[in-house]
């Protein structure tokens, strides 16, 4: 057993649910960490003795960000597609095929190195838990490879064979659906915690409500939890399908009807908002404040991917959610930590309470407000407590 007291904390944000905003923010507090877990939180003057002391010099400390939606196993570059989109070419999901071709052509070691670099980039910006999806392989072998590599960096791995229908199956979607719900799922399930589907009638490459239902039901029967990409490109069935099937999360939620909001408020599915996608595709931002008002549980994540949001930055996402989606700085921080942990059905991350993982993020700033107040400035990083 080795213990560390983290002292000199300016503002401690615990996201323990205390206070009207749930942030549990306090000053003058210290945190004692033992063997990677939070062992004690209280006034610094009352902190128990520890083997080691780390003084953060008046900086704010908060739970490490939980990025609950990311596509990190890919090769290739789509900067030209982004530039074309900014020049007026609309997004329809077709560019995913470019990443599929590059990913299939990459070696294991190349993909492993790309993945490691992206995870390190996230950690350097304060993210300590990340969900990683497959979905750029779209063959049995390539999907299993992506999940196997993802498992090397996180336990939150998601089988997304139903990302798009690959080009070689464009003339026979039913055959691809049989593959995704049959042999591909069977091979992928041992490496995955979740199954996900791009349910989007507005894209010819993605999946209809009926197809998405088949993917999710098969995934559930294989023992996986459910996640859905829904309502990204226009109004659609994804949100209500996710709620009906008890999915842990429905992600994007860019276009929501009143009935969608009512369904979310009545169900247990978290609405995961991805404002980096609206930014990178010049789409309208959903009204996150209205969702909170309606009683919907929300989360924030990056959707880091080579097409619609190649940003790994949770601070950027937080700033966008405050500026463009109506959240207060505190609401955005909560959604990016405890909220996104909830979307992963985790209670050991995303908040700092005794027994939780000691995933601490430190800001070169006195309070969490600076994450959105100082947008674009690299003030957040995961605190490394290893000796």
The stretch near Zn ion (CB under 5 A) out of 124-132, 209-217, 300-308, 346-354 is 300-308
Nearest to Zn ion of 38, 277 (CB atom): 277
Asked whether 195 and 214 are in contact (CB, 8 A), the reply is: no
- What is the size of the binding site for Zn ion (CB under 5 A)? 1
Closest alpha carbon to 383 in 14, 59, 20, 119:
59
Stretch that binds Zn ion, among 94-102, 105-113, 303-311, 321-329 (CB under 5 A): 303-311
For Zn ion, the closer of residues 302 and 372 by Cβ is: 302
CB of 360 to Zn ion, least distance (A): 27
Nearer to Zn ion, 240 or 308 (CB): 308
Chain position carrying tokens 């939070």:
38
Residue closer to Zn ion (CB basis): 16 or 303:
303
Please select the residue that binds Zn ion; options are 11, 16, 67, 303, rule is CB under 5 A.
303
Task: Kindly indicate which of the ranges 12-20, 187-195, 218-226, 301-309 contains the residues binding Zn ion, using the contact rule CB under 5 A.
Answer: 301-309
Return the range that interacts with Zn ion (CB under 5 A); candidates 101-109, 170-178, 200-208, 296-304.
296-304
State how far the Cα of 322 lies from the Cα of 299, in Å rounded to an integer. Answer: 13
Contact stretch for Zn ion (CB under 5 A) within 1-9, 102-110, 257-265, 298-306 = 298-306
* C-beta closer to Zn ion: residue 164 or 380: 164
Question: CB of residue 367 vs Zn ion: minimum separation in angstroms?
Answer: 31
CA angle 372, 53, 351 (to 5 degrees): 40
Which pairing describes strands 52-55 and 3-7: parallel, antiparallel, or unpaired?
parallel
Structure tokens at 104: 């299939």
Q: Is 142 in the site for Zn ion (CB under 5 A)?
A: no
Q: How far is the CB of 313 from Zn ion (least distance, A)?
A: 16
Q: Compute, in degrees rounded to 10, the torsion defined by CA atoms 283, 23, 271, 220.
A: 140
Mention every residue, 6+ apart, whose C-beta is less than 8 A from residue 331.
Answer: 21, 288, 289, 292
Residue 46 CB, shortest distance to Zn ion, in Å, is 45
Minimum CB separation from Zn ion for residue 318, in Å?
18
Of 196 and 260, nearer to Zn ion (C-beta) is 196
Helix (H) or strand (E) holding 260: helix 258-266
Q: Least Å distance between CB 227 and Zn ion?
A: 9
Question: Could you give the string, one character per residue 51-90, with x where binding to Zn ion holds by CB under 5 A and - elsewhere?
Answer: ----------------------------------------
**Of 62, 125, 68, 124, nearest in space to 314 by CA:** 125
Residue 125, CA distances (Å) to 105, 133, 140, 313, 376 in order: 30, 20, 34, 6, 11
The sign of the CA dihedral 314, 215, 93, 114 is positive
Tracing tokens 């530039």 back to the chain, one arrives at 83
Binding site for Zn ion (CB under 5 A): 303
């Amino acid at each position: 057993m080795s213990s560390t007291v983290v002292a000199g904390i300016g503002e401690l944000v615990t996201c323990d649910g205390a206070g009207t905003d749930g942030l549990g923010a306090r000053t003058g507090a210290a945190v004692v960490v033992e063997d990677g877990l939070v062992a004690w939180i209280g006034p610094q003057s009352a902190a128990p003795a520890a083997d080691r002391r780390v003084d953060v010099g008046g900086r704010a400390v908060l739970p490490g960000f939980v990025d609950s939606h990311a596509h990190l196993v890919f090769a290739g570059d789509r900067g030209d597609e982004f530039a074309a989109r900014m020049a007026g070419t609309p997004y329809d999901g077709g560019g995913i095929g470019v990443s599929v071709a590059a990913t299939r052509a990459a070696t294991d070691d190349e993909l492993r190195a790309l993945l490691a670099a992206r995870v390190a980039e996230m950690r350097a910006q304060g993210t300590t838990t990340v969900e990683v999806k497959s979905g750029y392989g779209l063959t049995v072998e390539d999907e299993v490879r992506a999940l196997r590599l993802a498992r090397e960096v996180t336990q939150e791995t998601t089988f997304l064979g139903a990302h798009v229908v690959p080009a070689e199956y464009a003339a026979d979607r039913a055959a691809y659906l049989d593959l995704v719900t049959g042999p591909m799922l069977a091979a992928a399930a041992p490496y995955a915690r979740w199954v996900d589907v791009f349910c989007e009638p507005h894209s010819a490459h993605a999946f209809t409500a009926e197809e998405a239902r088949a993917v999710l039901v098969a995934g559930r029967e294989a023992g996986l939890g459910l996640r859905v990409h829904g309502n990204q490109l226009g109004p659609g069935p994804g949100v209500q399908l996710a709620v009906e099937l008890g999915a842990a999360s429905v992600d994007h939620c860019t276009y929501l009807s009143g009935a969608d909001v009512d369904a979310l408020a009545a169900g247990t599915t978290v609405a995961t908002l991805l404002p980096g996608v609206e930014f990178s595709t010049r789409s309208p931002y959903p009204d996150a404040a209205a969702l909170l008002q309606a009683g919907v549980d929300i989360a924030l994540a990056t959707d880091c991917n080579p097409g619609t949001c190649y940003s790994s930055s949770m601070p950027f996402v937080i700033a966008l959610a405050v500026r463009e989606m109506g959240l207060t700085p505190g609401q955005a921080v909560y959604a990016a930590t405890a909220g996104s942990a909830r979307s992963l059905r985790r209670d050991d991350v995303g908040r700092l309470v005794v027994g939780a993982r000691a995933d601490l993020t430190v800001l070169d700033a006195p309070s969490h407000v600076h994450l959105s107040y100082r947008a674009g400035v690299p003030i957040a990083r995961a605190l490394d407590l290893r000796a």
